[in-house]
């Protein structure tokens, strides 16, 4: 009897241990079902988030956890907990603009971009125009939900096709029907504190003779290198303004060869400036000019700014702030026109007065004009772009640049500068003739264009020690002397937020009905298992007693 009494509680312990083991196993299985059915993971790029004078623009959130949908903007459909997948190829911009303008609720937006490649022409024509309009719509709107970009590939296309099939069958993804769930686990974006802009200056001193080199006249060649676009992590700006940077580096290389020999060293100083803050009213150019002493500023005969010169055919534009009749402007224009005629291309001139009361600066040369320095901008654009327009957006990739156009731009500027410096104006003399030791190096320019087309350059996300900044410094130092680097804070008018890229996890989830059925089956199984274990170890009477109502205290007292 004593032995039996000792065994009885031990049997009860065995039952409870068994039950705990079963429950733990079931929980593990459920967790595996919930977490182990991720369909795929995709790299995504968030729509830019920024403020102008405190006014919010762009996407204001980053975290995402909603079901996927593919049939946008249906009337009467609640999309507040839906992430819409919209391929840019098939995008209805009118509907999207109306949806954003009316501030309709939406869980999130995933825009699929055509896959990029160096020889891809998919972004030309209609697709390019759609990207231009889409980008302008998104960056000038205040969007209260996450917006991401991703590139089309087999994985995301398969998910999109599956979602479309479900919706065509009348089974859109919801909590009750299941489907695909998009999850981006990231903290809320934080404001970038004290974003910096970096200006890089190189100097080629002219032939001194009996005078100080600083007293010689100076010609400046300038290009802004940073970009701005709807997705900071994708804003490579091959044409705007990668083409201008490539042209400046090649011009510096060409004149470095001439100025390295005292016999061919010109009597002009050459000042090369790679400036930052271009999309933000050329804020870096303004601060660079303010750092000049009065003597240097007065020594500048004129400055040529290079902007978007990579996709023109036979006509280039020279934009100026002073009237074309101005002696210095006429001299620069005539010099360029002479070379242009020999090359079989034309160059036009556009005059736009500066409105001092307006803080908007459309062209880089306007910052020079504001400090009374003669300057002009060479560009393929016939008119001044608006704020954040043509600043290296989604469409501005390697395929948007014609290498021949960049080559012609370098030839035009370098030849006109050389004729002015060496007094050969009006003479048909080719200083940088093809197949000569001073010929333009296309391979050199192509290598830099490839690098620029792979490097996002949105200034607030470029640190002082960024590898790209270091590469520009090294390259310009190889072709110039007295390299100077200037670090400044971006104008406080603009504020930016981090979280520019993330990983999108796509889960294929079952419906709530399936979960309830599964829970019911598991619960029934556990109850039957529990009863079986109690009966086999303690007997049927003990099982029945477990479910009997315990006697009250009054009964016990009686």
Q: Are strands 269-275 and 315-320 parallel, antiparallel or unpaired?
A: unpaired
CB 278 within 8 A of CB 288: no
Six token digits for residue 435: 């197949």
pLDDT of the residue at 179: 82
283: cis peptide before it, omega within 30°? no
* Tokens, residue 269: 């100083």
Question: Which tokens in the block code for residue 463?
Answer: 């640190």
How is the chain split into domains, by residue range? Answer: 38-191+500-509, 196-489, 513-548
The whole-angstrom separation of Cα 234 and Cα 394 is 7
Evaluate whether 201 touches 483 at the Cβ level (below 8 Å): yes
Return the pLDDT at 352.
93
The string of DSSP letters for 215-275 reads: GS-EEEEEEE--B--SSGGG---IIIIIIHHHHHHHHHHHHHHHHTSTTT--SSEEEEEEE
DSSP assignment string, 521-536: HHHHHHHHHHHHHHHH
Q: Coil, strand or helix: which one is 358?
A: coil
Q: What CATH number should be reported for the domain whose range is 196-489?
A: 3.40.630.10
Strand partners, 42: 504
Residues with Cβ within 8 Å of 540's Cβ and at least 6 positions away in sequence, in order, are none
Structure tokens at 251: 């011009």
Q: What is the pTM of this model?
A: 0.85
Contact, 44 vs 232, CB < 8 A? Answer: no
DSSP-H helix ranges across 73-221: 93-101, 125-139, 154-168
Distance of CA 435 to the CA centre of its chain: 39
Digit-by-digit pLDDT tens for the chain (558 residues) are: 344 444 444 444 554 555 555 555 555 555 444 444 456 899 999 999 999 999 999 999 999 999 999 887 765 678 888 999 999 988 889 999 999 999 999 999 999 998 875 444 444 555 788 999 999 999 999 999 999 999 999 999 999 999 998 888 776 656 555 689 999 999 899 999 989 999 999 999 998 765 565 689 999 999 999 999 999 999 999 999 999 999 999 999 999 999 999 999 999 999 999 999 999 999 999 999 999 999 999 999 999 999 999 999 999 999 999 999 999 999 999 999 999 999 999 999 999 999 888 889 999 999 999 999 999 999 999 999 999 999 999 999 999 999 999 999 999 999 999 999 998 877 778 899 988 889 999 999 999 999 999 999 999 999 999 999 999 999 999 999 999 999 999 988 999 999 999 999 999 886 656 566 767 777 788 778 777 777 777 676 666 776 666 666 554 454
């Amino acid at each position: 009897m004593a032995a039996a009494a000792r065994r009885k509680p031990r049997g009860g312990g065995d039952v409870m241990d068994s039950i705990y083991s079963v429950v733990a196993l079931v929980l593990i299985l459920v967790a595996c079902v919930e977490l182990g059915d991720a369909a795929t993971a995709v790299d995504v790029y968030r729509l830019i988030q920024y403020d102008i004078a405190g006014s919010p623009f762009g996407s204001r959130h980053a975290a995402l956890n909603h079901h996927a949908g593919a049939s946008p903007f249906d009337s009467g459909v609640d999309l507040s907990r839906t992430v819409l997948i919209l391929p840019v190829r098939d995008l209805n911009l009118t509907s999207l603009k109306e949806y954003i303008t009316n501030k309709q609720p939406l869980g999130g937006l995933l825009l699929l971009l055509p896959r990029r490649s160096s020889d891809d022409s998919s972004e030309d024509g209609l697709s390019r125009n759609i990207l231009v309009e889409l980008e302008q719509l998104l960056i000038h709107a205040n969007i209260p939900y996450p917006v991401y970009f991703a590139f089309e590939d087999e994985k995301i296309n398969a998910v999109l096709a599956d979602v479309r099939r479900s919706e065509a069958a009348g089974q859109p993804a919801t909590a009750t029907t299941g489907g695909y769930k998009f999850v981006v686990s990231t903290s809320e974006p934080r404001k970038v504190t004290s974003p910096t802009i970096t200006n890089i200056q190189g100097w080629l001193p002219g032939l001194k003779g009996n005078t100080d080199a600083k007293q010689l006249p100076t010609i400046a060649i300038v290009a802004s290198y940073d970009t701005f676009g709807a997705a900071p992590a994708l804003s490579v700006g091959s044409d705007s303004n990668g083409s201008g940077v490539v042209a400046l580096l090649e011009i510096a290389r060409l004149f470095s060869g001439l100025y390295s020999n005292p016999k061919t060293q010109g009597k002009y100083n050459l000042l090369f400036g790679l400036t930052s803050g271009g999309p933000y009213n050329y804020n870096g150019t303004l601060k660079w000019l303010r750092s000049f002493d009065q003597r240097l500023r007065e020594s500048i005969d004129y400055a040529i700014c290079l902007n978007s010169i990579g996709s023109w055919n036979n006509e280039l534009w020279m934009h100026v702030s002073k009237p074309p009749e101005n002696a210095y402007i006429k001299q620069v224009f005539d010099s360029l026109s002479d070379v242009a005629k020999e090359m079989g291309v034309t160059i036009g001139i556009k005059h736009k007065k500066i409105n001092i009361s307006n803080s908007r600066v459309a062209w880089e040369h306007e910052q020079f004009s504001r400090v009374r320095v003669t300057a002009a901008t060479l560009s393929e654009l016939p008119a001044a772009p608006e704020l954040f327009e043509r600043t290296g957006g989604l469409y501005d990739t390697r395929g948007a640049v014609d290498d021949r156009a960049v080559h012609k731009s370098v030839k035009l500027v370098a030849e006109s500068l050389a004729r002015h410096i060496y007094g050969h104006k009006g003479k048909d003399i080719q200083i940088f003739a093809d197949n000569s030791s001073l010929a333009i190096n296309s391979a050199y320019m192509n290598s830099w264009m490839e690098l620029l087309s792979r490097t996002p350059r949105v200034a607030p996300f470029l640190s002082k020690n960024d590898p790209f900044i270091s590469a520009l410094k090294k390259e310009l130092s190889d072709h110039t002397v007295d390299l100077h680097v200037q670090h400044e804070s971006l104008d406080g008018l603009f504020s930016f937020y981090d979280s520019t890229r993330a990983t999108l996890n796509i889960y294929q989830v079952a419906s709530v009905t399936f979960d309830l059925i599964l829970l019911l089956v598991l619960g029934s199984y556990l109850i039957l298992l529990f009863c079986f274990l109690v009966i086999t170890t303690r007997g049927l009477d003990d099982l029945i007693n477990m479910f009997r109502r315990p006697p009250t205290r009054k009964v016990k007292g009686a």
